[in-house]
Amino acid sequence: MFECRACIRRAVRAIARDALDAQTIHRPLISAPRLAARRPRRRLATAAIPTQHDGDALGPLIESAISSHTPRHSARPKKEENALTPAEEKALRTEVLWLKDPMKLADHVHYTLRNNQRDKALNLCRIASKSQHCTVAWNHTIDWHVKQGRYTAAIDIFNEMKKRAQHPDSYTYMLLLRSFPQTRLDPGEQFPKHMCSKALNIYNSMNAENSTVQPSIMHTNAMLRVCGLAGDMDALWAVASQIPESGPRAADYITYSTLIGAIRHGATAQDGKGNIPARDYAQKMRKAVNEGRSIWQEVVTKWRGGEITIDEKLVLEMANLLLISRSMKDWDDVLSLVQQTTKIERLIPPVGSPERMTGHVPREAETAVVEDSDGWVDSVISSFKPVTGPTKDPENPRKSASMAWVQPGNKLLSVVLDACLKMRTPKAAQAYWDEFTSRQNVQPDLDNFHTMLRILNLNRSSKKAVEVVQQMHNSGVEARPITYRLGMSACQRDWKNTHIMENATALIDDMQQHLSYPDVKTLESYLALALQTRDSKKVVRAIDRMDPMVHLLRSRITYGTEGVYTSINAHIAEKESALRFIKTMIGTIDTLKNRSLVPEKDFAHWEARRSQLQGFVGRSANSVQDQRERWEKKHGEGESVGTSKKGPVRRVEPRKPWQESRPFRMGPHKWAEKQLRVFQERPMRGSDEGAG
């Protein structure tokens, strides 16, 4: 009825004044003199609402009526959070005015993003889109959000880019497909299913009839990787079925690596979840291996035909797929696969030959031959037979007669050692180790050395284990505590060797030389090995050899270690493990006396050593126990403790320049003395100025 605030005001005033006059207002008498005639106020329909009511008693009533009758949509919309002010928009338009070249605009947007000004870069793209084509600038913006892990924002910018008539190019789609996680998440986490759906929608939009960009094999590989990480095998095979047999969009070695890797991850995705019978699990693994074999036959055919090349990663994917099987034939095929692709001859007869002995290998759940849906049956001869040369092409007689073989590396050596470990063939493992390290010039890494130590542990080769550890130092590989645990485990399995304590002592000497602090578990295994020999002289020498370690561990318990612990829980656990080893020393001395491994005249000597150790344990155990109880009670509360996924973490201030010359000790009872010493040694401010 009323569209103007002034009209509503006049109507309400007329109604309200009559009601107010009838109740409270008395009209003045006509005969009463008017001392001052009120000048009528001028009210226009376009006048603004007054801020003050000028003594008008109807003001509040009129204002409430106006507010109740005024439509809500007439209110001014709220300002967006990242909306530009007129001054900012004018400044950006001035910048765009001098950036008419799309290449210069893209460089300026890239520079803006490097300065972490994402809003400004996006607004530059928006303003420039009205006057020029700036696809590269939009790509820089999408790429920046992808690298920051802002997947949803990157897709939103892509959609806005299309709405502003900026046509995406091939690189734009590649950025979007790579914006999704490209690595497998932690075992406890799952790949979001909606990400796979979004990626599939983007990929399918490229195949639309009105699409200006057709997908290349790079886009297909990126899409296959997302499907494999998400575990969506139906979408994976749907995308793979659209790959042509030949042409620029044909599959390459990356495509086959992605497919074989996705098969392996899909087969092992439910591993450990639920109670799956051993036979059903073996059949599931066998079916996955059969799918990989069928793909590998196609790979070899195209490789011999010169259509694709193969690399170490593709061979590793196929080898890892074979290793998930429960069949020894599949494990043995890893060696045939290496021979087929690297031209390294087999150093052990194949399974099934008269020369191959397999009776010592424990039999696991074997399954019958499994056929896939197409009726294909795996064949060892057809899948991994040696390749002599490329396929001859009658139409191209000048075709090269040589092939590009795979250059072996550390990872290929690792899978070969894993296959030998599963088949329990230590001699073959040693032969392949010599072949790779000597003839193929492969420098073993830490994982290779640890796998070799596990094989030597299986073969009870303590002396070779010591040689492998020494070879690590010669190769420049830093040994870890787990290195000496594996070596000592090989010594424990070789306990019947008359020279076993010499080999074990050599490991202890090497550990003392290359580790800052000894590994407690290795020391405990060393004492257990000495007792296992039941030789009094070896036990006594082992206890005497542990004396320097005991002094070092006592210092660790009392004063802490050099450097700073990142976790209070780890700091306390180190002290507890050191106390546990000292108790093991006490138990070893008791065993020495109880078994009468030493003469009675030496009992007093051993009793004195035992009392010394027992006294230290009694004094330190209560302190360590109190620290453990305080930590469990506080659970990270307090100024000096923070929280993390691994537990409370001590917040340590960075060391000052005058603290760099001395090691940082964590002994709590030395803290006050250290602070006092630092304060006394620290120069006073202005002392130099005063001296001058």
> 501-557 pLDDT, tens per residue?
999 999 999 999 999 888 999 999 999 999 998 888 999 999 999 999 988 888 888
Please compute the mean of the pLDDT values over residues 94-122 and round it to a whole number: 92
Please compute the mean of the pLDDT values over residues 56-72 and round it to a whole number: 53
Instruction: Specify the pLDDT at position 237.
Output: 93
Enumerate the H helices of 396-480 as residue ranges: 410-423, 426-434, 446-458, 462-474
Instruction: Specify the pLDDT at position 185.
Output: 54
Enumerate the H helices of 567-602 as residue ranges: 568-594
* Closest among 212, 239, 228 to 266, alpha carbons compared: 228
| Structural domain for 12, as ranges | 1-26+46-70
pLDDT one-digit tens code per residue, 438-454: 999 999 999 999 999 99
Residues 276 and 160 in one domain: yes
Residue 389 resides in a domain: no
Instruction: Specify the pLDDT at position 316.
Output: 95
Please compute the mean of the pLDDT values over residues 374-387 and round it to a whole number: 58
Instruction: Specify the pLDDT at position 637.
Output: 45
Q: Assign 45 a pLDDT band (cuts: 50, 70, 90).
A: very low
Q: Are 175 and 155 in contact (CB under 8 A)?
A: no
Higher-confidence residue: 678 or 533? 533
Instruction: Specify the pLDDT at position 506.
Output: 95
Instruction: Specify the pLDDT at position 284.
Output: 87
Instruction: Specify the pLDDT at position 187.
Output: 53
Highest mean pLDDT of the ranges 2-6, 83-87, 238-242, 575-579 = 238-242
Instruction: Specify the pLDDT at position 209.
Output: 86
Residue 460 resides in a domain: yes
Please compute the mean of the pLDDT values over residues 264-271 and round it to a whole number: 78
Backbone angles phi, psi at 455, to 5 degrees: -65, -40
Residue 51 resides in a domain: yes
Among 367, 384, 401, residue at a domain's last position: 384
Residue 679 resides in a domain: no
Token pair, residue 314, equals 């593709």
CA atoms of 502 and 20, how far apart (whole Å) = 114
Q: Are 450 and 477 in contact (CB under 8 A)?
A: no
Higher-confidence residue: 687 or 493? 493
Please compute the mean of the pLDDT values over residues 197-208 and round it to a whole number: 90
* Closest among 156, 147, 168, 292 to 219, alpha carbons compared: 168
Q: Assign 250 a pLDDT band (cuts: 50, 70, 90).
A: very high
Q: Is 383 exposed, middle or buried, given 0-12, 13-18 or 19+ CB atoms closer than 10 A? A: buried
Residues 140 and 197 in one domain: no
Residues 140 and 203 in one domain: no
Q: Assign 305 a pLDDT band (cuts: 50, 70, 90).
A: confident
Token pair, residue 30, equals 């006509």
Residues 263 and 141 in one domain: no
* Closest among 300, 290, 296, 283 to 373, alpha carbons compared: 290
Residues 269 and 418 in one domain: no
Name the amino acid, one letter, at 359. G
Residues 160 and 139 in one domain: no
Kindly state the percentage of the chain with pLDDT values over 90: 40
Higher-confidence residue: 44 or 568? 568
For residue 608, what is the domain's CATH number? 1.25.40.10
Q: Are 219 and 174 in contact (CB under 8 A)?
A: yes
The pLDDT of residue 358 is above 90? no
Residue 692 resides in a domain: no
Residue 339 resides in a domain: yes
Residue 666 resides in a domain: no
Residues 279 and 291 in one domain: yes
Rg (CA), the chain: 40
pLDDT one-digit tens code per residue, 423-435: 888 899 999 999 9
Among 148, 177, 192, residue at a domain's last position: 148
Residues 65 and 183 in one domain: no
Residues 618 and 486 in one domain: yes
Residues 456 and 504 in one domain: yes
Predicted TM-score (pTM) of the model is 0.73
* Closest among 277, 278, 298, 290 to 329, alpha carbons compared: 290
pLDDT one-digit tens code per residue, 617-670: 888 887 777 778 887 877 554 434 444 444 444 444 444 333 333 333 344 444
Among 132, 148, 164, residue at a domain's last position: 148
Instruction: Specify the pLDDT at position 655.
Output: 41
Kindly state the percentage of the chain with pLDDT values over 70: 71
Q: Which long-range contacts (CB under 8 A, 24 or more apart) does 230-236 make?
A: 230/191, 230/192, 230/193, 230/195, 230/196, 231/191, 231/265, 231/266, 231/269, 232/193, 232/196, 233/262, 233/266, 235/196, 235/200, 236/262
Residues 349 and 481 in one domain: no
Instruction: Specify the pLDDT at position 570.
Output: 76
- The count of domains in the chain is 4
Higher-confidence residue: 361 or 575? 575
Residues 51 and 139 in one domain: no
The pLDDT of residue 588 is above 70? yes
The pLDDT of residue 351 is above 50? yes
CA atoms of 66 and 71, how far apart (whole Å) = 10
Instruction: Specify the pLDDT at position 599.
Output: 86
Residue 465 resides in a domain: yes
pLDDT one-digit tens code per residue, 102-115: 999 999 999 999 99
Low-confidence winner among 180-194, 264-278, 299-313, 439-453 (lowest mean pLDDT): 180-194
